[in-house]
Chains A and B, each alone.
Chain A
Amino acid sequence: MSKPAATSKVVAYAALTGIGLLAAVVFGDVAIVALAAPFGFALVSGLLAPVAPLPEVHLELDTTRLVEGGRATIALELSTPRAIPRCDVTLAVPADLRTEGPTGWSLRLEADSPVLIEVPITAEQYGRFVIGPASTSVPGLFGLLGRSGAGGGKLELEVRPRGERLRTLVRALEVRATVGDRLARQPGDGIEFAEVRPYSAGAPGRLNWRVTARLGAPYVNQRHPERSTDLILLVDTFSPAALASQVRAAAGLAAAYLARRDRVGLVAFGGVLNWVEPSMGLAQLERLVAALTTTKWHHSYAWKSVEAIPSRTLPPTGLVIAISPLEDPRMLNALATIRARGVDLAVIETIGRRAARPETAAGELAARIIELERADMRANFGRRGVPVVAWHDSEPLEEPLDALALWRRRARGRVAR
């Protein structure tokens, strides 16, 4: 049990009492004591009165995992074997968890009558949060002495990013040898009809009797096999402005591609490098979402290049979708290097809230120059076979994905390595 500690009020009241009494002695005027007497009485009674003990605090959370926008309830239980006339309780709740009520209470506790306080919270932002402990303080008479402490321990809450449900997905140019949902360009064992070809020994395909009878030579049906692809999500964490939207977009893309039996990997490229090697299945989705949940902006001046990324994380046959505001030169350099290695790359450029319109003519000119530079950068990427589509983070992700798919259909030749 913590010992009662003096508050700053003790000093104030002692000073008032002392000044009054000393003035009475110095001026030989006992009536001055009357002015200081109430403070002296309060001081003596406050210091002599016993201070109630701190209550037992128990904290509980009804869930340890939420998705953004989800709700949970923190249960705070206070109990004491002795009555406490006044107990001040403050619960430490991170700012990104919105509470629908106060997080501080001043209450009276009766002996052996636990008080349960429920605090509903809404997760407004993904991340890992620590709730608690609850700070308690019990003031004594006149608040001159008091006990204070923290109890209930710490509760951990993981809030996962809410990914958008996606229908349109950009397909990779190359497929893997394993079965998936993507139609491979190469002929093989599949369901989807591809074409009719002259028979050659050892080639796959069933004999097409009608064509064979009409042309007088054996012809076989060729089919597209269903194969899986590799997708690497490259999330730019150099800039904090649109990071939350980028993480949500990555979560949506990961879930959509994994649902189609593709292998999905993740590279969070920024002040701190974080990656998840490509794999498939529900376990991989858990790994990716867990990695995205902890993705944060870390300020760094250190020059980062693609060499820092493990080579297994960027398979040469996979599609890399970069989600970036394209502002940091380190990210631009990394994208150029990845493309120079022949990796299939597409960029979703995140555009956050628009900057205020410049007020002066010079400012307007500067803004136009910046916009021209960015247009030139996008054109440069386009010439290298890298589509760059803009995405306002308040709009659905389907739109830039549609634009990406369209760009790649129209520029199939340019995208080739």
Chain B
Amino acid sequence: MRHFERGSRIAREALSVTATAAVAAWALWHASAALAPTVALAGIAGVITFALSFRVPLAPARNRSVATGLVLVAIAVVVASQAEAGGTRTGFLVVSGAVLFCAAEVAERSLSYPSHVEHRPGVERWGQAWVLGVAVGSAALSYGAISTRGLLANGGPAALAAGTAAALLVAVLTTLVVRARTRTAA
């Protein structure tokens, strides 16, 4: 039996904020002089919004804050990587996505265990593996898909196909979310 320690929670918070800030800093480092102000502004706003989520007590507002922060950092990353070459840019975005996802999950795990809760061993054993697995797997898959698409089509019809696939994926996800929300109401 062990208690969920305050120190551990602070370490998780620091880790997730540091990871988000590292992505934003990396974006700023690669940004051109013309885009640097925009990237810096979006990155700083994103990291601050993300960090502020640790002070939000209610889960819905907290998740909104995390999502807003990640979107702002993602905008900084996308804008900063405009000038990069195709393969480098894809790798940059893939790694950024994986890091941001891990940061969001670490933050969520830190916030979902209040300090007065006794945290018994064995609970998170598979949870962390899943987080890393999804981050690495999705990063590898998206990198592979984008690279294959670049190699095979190099624009035009492939972009259209990718857009159609993306739209389909959005439709599927929306259906799942609506279904889940319907369950909530029930």
Contact = CB atoms under 8 A, between A and B. Distances in A.
Interface stretch (B13-21, B28-36, B39-47, B87-95): B87-95
Contacts of B170: 17-18, 21-22
B143 interface: yes
A44 B3 CA distance: 32
Contacts of B119: 105-106
A5 B146 contact: no
A85 B173 contact: no
* Residue from B101, B141, B172, B186 with most neighbouring chain A CB atoms (10 Å): B101
Given A21-B170, A36-B97, A142-B131, 7 more contacts: A13-B67, A16-B71, A34-B97, A35-B100, A47-B176, A86-B127, A104-B117
Nearest to A29: B78
Contacts of B71: 16, 19
A12 interface: yes
Contacts of B177: 6, 10-11, 14, 43, 47
Interface of A: 3-25, 28-45, 47-48, 85-86, 88, 90, 101-108, 139, 141-145
A141 B63 CA distance: 16
Contact of A38 (B64, B97, B179): B97
A66 to B, nearest CB: 24
Interface residues of B, number: 74
B183 A6 contact: yes
Interface in B136-177: 137-139, 141-143, 146, 149, 158-159, 162-163, 166-167, 169-170, 172-174, 176-177
Contacts of B86: 31
A48 B67 CA distance: 22
Contacts of B113: 106
A355 to B, nearest CB: 35
A38 B138 contact: yes
A8 B59 contact: yes
Interface string B41-80: 0000000000000000001101110110011001001100
Contact of B173 (A17, A38, A143): A17
Given A3-B183, A35-B74, A101 B118 contact: yes
A93 to B, nearest CB: 11
B117 A38 contact: no
A35 B78 contact: yes
Contact of B123 (A23, A33, A85): A85
Given A38-B134, A106-B123, A108-B122, A32 B93 contact: yes
Contacts of A29: 78
A12 B67 contact: yes
Nearest to B90: A31
